[in-house]
Chains A and B, each alone.
Chain A
Amino acid sequence: SQQGEEDPQALSIQEGENATMNCSYKTSINNLQWYRQNSGRGLVHLILIRSNEREKHSGRLRVTLDTSKKSSSLLITASRAADTASYFCATGPGGSYIPTFGRGTSLIVHP
């Protein structure tokens, strides 16, 4: 069973628009990670946010974490066609547990 679940399952936008996807999880976490997967490739790590952090930026990516709501969001600003991919969150309750991945959000950015 997945600890984290992404929402929406699919998102279709025009180039230049912002894309927001969310991740909800069930138990307390040590950190939360976001990954991207291009078609036919392995996952690539984007951002790691720790449980004591509320917001983190990396280029056009902005991640927020609300531990009281057990949720995180990934915002991609000024989307490009090259951002077309699936995005996954990975959460782990820390301790001896291995982080688990959600089912992902499929993002399509139309040129």
Chain B
Amino acid sequence: NAGVTQTPKFRVLKTGQSMTLLCAQDMNHEYMYWYRQDPGMGLRLIHYSVGEGTTAKGEVPDGYNVSRLKKQNFLLGLESAAPSQTSVYFCASSSSRNQPQHFGDGTRLSIL
């Protein structure tokens, strides 16, 4: 049972570079989420999706873009990375809005 898989697990970028984080879930969940976790800040929602082909902004969407072309995948893009985007990024999925979320183990991203 894979659950939610995030790729890559670690990455170091230089300021201005771009990259895409991939999240894949095998539970046929409609909802998918991207969070960032910073020390003392808890989890903050970046973007989310309520189904294939849909995306919506969360609490901290600036500097990020997302796409949900297939139900099982949710991609998070950084077009021009900034040091302030150094964080641990978590993807999650759920069957509906108020149901338990299943999390991946995170992507640790450092931007120099």
Contact = CB atoms under 8 A, between A and B. Distances in A.
Contact of A43 (B48, B98, B99, B103): B103
A44 B59 CA distance: 22
Interface residues of B, number: 23
Contact of A103 (B41, B58, B101): B41
A16 interface: no
A94 B40 CA distance: 26
A111 interface: no
Contacts of A97: 97
Contacts of B48: 98
B105 A42 contact: yes
Interface in B25-60: 33, 35, 40-43, 45, 48, 58-59
Interface of B: 4, 33, 35, 40-43, 45, 48, 58-59, 90, 92, 97-106
5 contacts: A41-B106, A43-B103, A92-B98, A98-B33, A98-B58
Given A42-B104, A98-B33, A99-B101, 17 more contacts: A30-B98, A42-B92, A42-B106, A43-B43, A43-B90, A43-B92, A45-B101, A88-B42, A92-B97, A98-B45, A99-B97, A100-B45, A101-B43, A103-B40, A103-B41, A103-B42, A104-B42
Interface of A: 1-2, 30-31, 33, 35, 40-45, 48, 88, 90, 92, 94, 96-104
